[in-house]
Amino acid sequence: MKKIVIIGANDFQRPLIRKAKNMGYETHVFAWREGATGAADADRFYEISITEKEKILSICQKIQPDAVTTIGSDLANITVQYLAERLGLPGNSHECIINSTNKFAMRNAFQKAGLQVPFFTAVGKDEKVIPPSYPVIVKPTDRSGSRAITKVESSEELETAIQQAIAQSFEKKAIVEEYISGAEYSVETISYQGEHTLLAITKKYTTGEPHYIEVGHLEPAPLSGELQDKVKETVFAALTALKVENGAGHSELRIDENGNVRIIEIGSRMGGDCIGSDLVPLSTEQDFVGMVVDVATGNPPQIKQNAEQHVSAVHFIMNRQDLEKFHWIEANYPETVRKTVLEGDVEHCQITDSGSRPGFYILQTETMEEMNHILHRGPLENPIQLFETPVQKLRIHDGRNTFYMKRDDLLPFSFGGNKVRFARKYVENMQAEGYDSMVIYGNYHSNLCRILASLCNELSIPCYMVHNTEDVKETKETGNSRIIRRMNVHEIPCEKKNIAAAVRKAMAELTEKGFRPYYIYGNEYGQGNEWPPMKAYEEAYEEILSWEKASGTNLDYIFLASSTNATQSGLMAGKLQNKEDCKIVGISVSRNASRGKEVIENNLREYAERFSMDFPEDWEKEIEFTDSYMEGGYGAWSEPVATMIRKVYETDGVYLDMTYTGKAFYGMMKYLQEKNIQGKNILFLHTGGLPLFFDFLEDERA
């Protein structure tokens, strides 16, 4: 019987041991006993560290193997090359192994071959380096498995990152190199006598900065044919530069938004994380592990022609939410689960690198749509509960009209407000479309950001906040800001001119972590998702009609604070759909009148088209939006507004705030006075803002 020596016996090596046995080889496996789950599959297991090359060689000289190989480990690959060379077996050269296991040597080989490389340098203990720019990536020169990889943004962080990398390095050196931006991919190849074959391109998902630990992989990667060709050309040139001639190749690269392909690093072995051993055969029907055995024995790889294509993914269990998601998949889509490993304590694990992840599961589907549906299930619950908010008659008066207030500030979630209705619709939309993370926009005064941050925290989904730093200049803490900062929000501050870029950054970062992000406003320019909050307030208008009928009161006017105009647009949709005469007046707290009216009109046109609604002729003339009472702009307020807030609280026990409702209530009173409106039933929609009211009280005390 032919014999094969396999270096390594952890769970990622088991497919190789089993494949070799199925191919008729007697398997001789070397590894430490701890973590050697593949020992049970081996014909002969030798409890020897994979780094003890001479000791293993001595035993191999007695075994007289026909091949020696490994998958998924740079450290094992060094020993494989050493053994193959001394035993006269097929393999790669010593130069190839140095190039493909030492990151500094790798960059030098790329540079010598004329390939594009970033700035890089190696540094040892007590040595200094001054990068030409930041950010940079710092990592050990000779380790794999995401060990001690750090993204460094400034010189103050550099020394610590270098020392951490050196501590993990066998040769006690770190490589400092220019940070390469873009989406991350890996490429699986098989080489035989210098000829390379591309088997699969895999999309990689990581924890992101600063350590980039892999959280999952998807295969095939969703790339255009043109980009696939560019990737193939780049990787083959890099493999040749490293002198990879025989065996598996695992290339890691990034592709930026301009389609530039940049190599991160390449291993002259199969990729770990079950990419080569499991994902490649599941998605391509190619026996990658069998090819590794073929080439190790000096035979050409057996490549299946006209193989069917499928979709596969591995997801690593990093926390309790990941484990719960797996149990949900197991219960609802058991036919897609191909493999499961759970070896650690999920609740208390400290994940510092790939080796400390407590488990994973592997899925297979026939289409990418099926896979996305499973991986991105969306929120399983909607914690937002609504009720028909009360309408109260107010004691406050102007001597000419009767005032009522609809108390949406009493909605039961995160201090209430109109944004609670928005939030419920957003979650419904996320559930229907399978979104599992959220990007919000606003600032620390924002009621919307407060409510959505609280919502994401309750649902345990990631929340990125694009923070417009220009709307509010002051830096003091507010009630809303204190709540938002406690809700695990990842903030991306920006100026107005950079909002679209900041949204793109947020969406890209979440996507690279394996999520499907939901931007509350649609695309990066804040367009396309106006309908959920409008639907919320079209439905709220039905509540108003119900109150009118029950109370026998016919409203003449509805006033509200109007900022992004979604609430007013939704009320208008309800009014037009029901052919009501009640006039809806938006008091602007931020936008000028012409822009606000334009937004409302566009919102209503798109809404009518989406829901096949017919509005009355010349409905555009019914839009009433005024910027006459902004009192200094968004976040600013005047003493007359403060006086109105005090008066409403003292008269009716209702709190208003200086950013939204207080300004709108003041504007309503001025509007009625200036237009000499009298004898009318007036409804003020209280859109909330309790934390902002307490900020007002703090200012009063000061």
Question: In this predicted structure, what is the pLDDT of residue 702?
Answer: 52
Calpha distance 619→430 (Å, rounded)? 32
pLDDT, position 197? 98
Q: Which of 491, 472, 521 is nearest to 658 (CA)?
A: 472
CB 45 within 8 A of CB 39: yes
CB-count burial class (<10 Å; 0-12, 13-18, 19+) for 223 = middle
User: Residue 385: what residue type?
Assistant: Q
pLDDT at 685: 98
**Edge-to-edge strand ranges of the sheet holding 517-519:** 490-494, 463-468, 437-442, 517-519
Tell me: pLDDT of 12 over 90.
Answer: no
Please say if the pLDDT value at position 699 is more than 80: no
User: Span 634-663, mean pLDDT?
Assistant: 92
Closest CA to 558 of 686, 660, 670: 686
* Residue 142 confidence (pLDDT): 86
pLDDT at 473 over 70: no
pLDDT digits (tens, 9 = 90+) for 269-321: 998 889 999 999 999 999 999 999 999 999 999 999 999 999 999 999 999 99
Beta strands 517-519 and 437-442 are parallel
Instruction: Give yes or no for residue 209 having a pLDDT over 90.
Output: no
How confident is the model at residue 675, as a pLDDT?
Answer: 97
DSSP 564: S
The pLDDT value given to residue 208: 85
- pLDDT on residue 93: 96
Tell me the torsion sign for CA atoms 191, 192, 194, 199: negative
Q: What band does 468 get if pLDDT is binned at 50, 70 and 90?
A: confident
The 3-state DSSP class for residue 261 equals strand
- Cα separations in angstroms, 218 against 187, 230, 448: 12, 19, 34
pLDDT at 52 over 90: yes
The identity of residue 107, as a single letter, is R
With bands split at pLDDT 50, 70 and 90, how would you rate the model's confidence at 444? confident
Q: Which amino acid is at 529?
A: N
Q: Where are the alpha helices (DSSP H) in 552-689?
A: 566-577, 593-610, 639-652, 661-674
And the tokens for 691? 């934390």
Q: How many CB atoms lie within 10 A of CB 561?
A: 30
**Which residue's structure tokens are 């501050």?**
493
431 to 55, 400, 426, 436: CA distances (angstroms) = 58, 48, 9, 8
C-alpha distances in Å from residue 79, one per residue of 92, 102, 469, 502: 12, 14, 55, 47
| Arithmetic mean of pLDDT, 172-190 | 94
What local confidence, expressed as pLDDT, does residue 701 receive?
A: 59
**Residue range 95-102: mean pLDDT, rounded:** 94
pTM: 0.86
Give one DSSP letter per residue of 166-207, joined into a string.
HHH-SSSEEEEEEPPPSEEEEEEEEEETTEEEEEEEEEEEE-
Residue 210: pLDDT band with limits 50, 70, 90: confident
Helix (H) / strand (E) element for 440: namely strand 437-442
626 has which bridge partners? 587
Per-residue model confidence (pLDDT) at position 139: 92
What pLDDT sits at residue 347? Answer: 83
Examine the pLDDT at 502 and tell me if it is beyond 70: yes
Task: Report, as an integer, the average pLDDT of 250-279.
Answer: 92
pLDDT score of 367: 97
Q: What average pLDDT score do residues 473-491 get? A: 86
Joined tokens for residue 558: 């509805």
pLDDT grade, residue 466 (50/70/90)? very high
CB 56 within 8 A of CB 83: yes
Given pLDDT bands bounded at 50, 70 and 90, which one contains residue 472? low
Phi-psi region of 236 (alpha: psi -120 to 50; beta: other; left: phi over 0): alpha
**Cα(664)–Cα(562) distance, integer angstroms:** 8
On average, the pLDDT of the chain sits at 93
Does the pLDDT at position 471 exceed 80?
A: no
Overall average pLDDT of the 346-371 stretch: 91
**pLDDT tens digit string along 136-171?**
999 998 877 667 889 999 989 999 999 999 999 988
Looking at residue 80, its amino acid is: V
pLDDT band, residue 474 (cuts 50/70/90): low
**Can you tell me the mean pLDDT for 331-338?**
97
